Amino acid sequence: MSLGRATKPRWTKVLRAWLSVAVTAGLLAWVAQRVDVGEIRASLTAGNPLWWGAAVCLVPFQVLLGALRWHRVAERLALPMPLGHAVNEYGLGIVLNQILPGGVAGDAVRVWRHKQGHGELAAPLRAALVDRVIGHWAHLLVTFAGLVAWFKVHGEHPPTGSMTVLLCLGAFFAIVWWKPPPGFRGLVGDTRVALGRGTEWAFHGAVSVTLVGTFLLSFWLCATALGLPLGLAAFTAVPLLMLITVIPVSIGGWGLRELSAVVILASLGWSASDAVALSAAYGLANLVGAVPFLLVLGKSG
C-alpha cells in the first residue's frame, strides 16, 4: 500500500461514494424481498429497551479501546497525540463511518485532523493503517477460534467454505508479513515498529481481542433484547458474520451485514427475518451510541 504524495482523482472518490450507496441500497432491497419487513419492525418495536440500551452504552467503551490502540501506535511511530484527543477523534471517525459512504470516510477525517502538527498527510495515514491492520488480525484470530469451536458448540460443521476462506486470509497475512511485496513494505515496516517489543504485542493483543469481544457482546445484548436465542453463536457465528463488513463498499456496513446475517445464521436454523432484525438492532445501537461524538466536529482538529 503506497503512502506517497499522490492523491486519487476526485472522480474516483465520487464514484466510490456512489458505489457504496448502490451496494447498500441494492443489498437492502434484495434482503427486503426475502423477509417480512412488518415482522422485523414489530420485533424491533417490541424489544426490551434495557438490553438494547446496554448495547448502546458499550459503544463509548469500544471507542476508548480503539483510541487506546491508535494512540499507542501513533506514539510508537513518533506521531504523538493526547489520549483524550485520540478518544474524541476515534469516536468521530466511528460515527462518520456509520453515516457516510465508503466505510472509511471517518478514518480519512481522523487522519486529516491528526495531520495538524505532523506535516504531510502520509505520516498520520501510516498510523491509521497500522491501527486497522492490527484490528483485522485480532478479528481473524477470534473468527478462527469461533470456527474451531463450531462443531463442539453446535454439533455440526461450520458453513461450507468458511474455514477455507479464513485460512486463505491468514496465509495472505502471513506471506505479506514475512515477505512483503513492494506495495506493502512500508505498511509492514510500520507495523513491525508498532509491535516491536513483546510488551507491545501483549498490549495490542489484549486491547484488540477485548474490542472484538465487545462487538460480540453487543450482538448478544441485541439478541437478548429481541428475545432471540443467540447464545454461544455470539462467539462462533458472529465473528464470521462480521467479517464481510471489513470490505469498505457500503454505508456503515448496512446491506453487507444483513446479507451475511441471513446466510450465516440460516445455517443455525434462524429465519431470515430474525437474522435481519438482529443485524438492524446491532447497527442502530452502534449508530446511536456513536452519535454524541459528532460534537467533536465543533472542535479544532
pLDDT of residue 276: 94
What's the domain count of the chain? 1
- Secondary structure of residue 191 in the 3-state scheme: helix
The C-alpha cell 504485542 sits at 201
- 2 has pLDDT over 50: no
Is 20 a member of any domain? Answer: no
pLDDT of residue 6: 42
pLDDT of residue 118: 60
DSSP alpha helix (H) spans, the chain: 10-32, 37-46, 49-76, 83-99, 105-114, 122-154, 162-178, 185-194, 198-226, 233-236, 238-243, 256-266, 272-290
- Residues 170-213 pLDDT 10s: 899 899 999 988 888 889 999 999 998 778 999 999 999 999 99
Is 258 a member of any domain? Answer: yes
pLDDT of residue 207: 97
Is 240 a member of any domain? Answer: yes
Mean pLDDT for 226-249 is 91
Is 53 a member of any domain? Answer: yes
Hey, what amino acid is at 155? G
Among the ranges given (7-11, 110-114, 253-257), the one the predictor scored with the smallest mean pLDDT: 7-11
Among the ranges given (46-60, 92-106, 284-298), the one the predictor scored with the smallest mean pLDDT: 92-106
Range of the domain at 52: 39-294
- The DSSP 8-state label assigned to residue 195 in this structure reads T
Band of the pLDDT at 114, cuts 50, 70, 90?
A: confident
- Residues 52-74 pLDDT 10s: 999 999 999 999 999 999 999 99
Is 275 a member of any domain? Answer: yes
Percentage, residues of the chain above pLDDT 70? 92
Is 16 a member of any domain? Answer: no
Higher per-residue confidence, 9 vs 28: 28
Is 168 a member of any domain? Answer: yes
Mean pLDDT for the chain overall: 88
Is 256 a member of any domain? Answer: yes
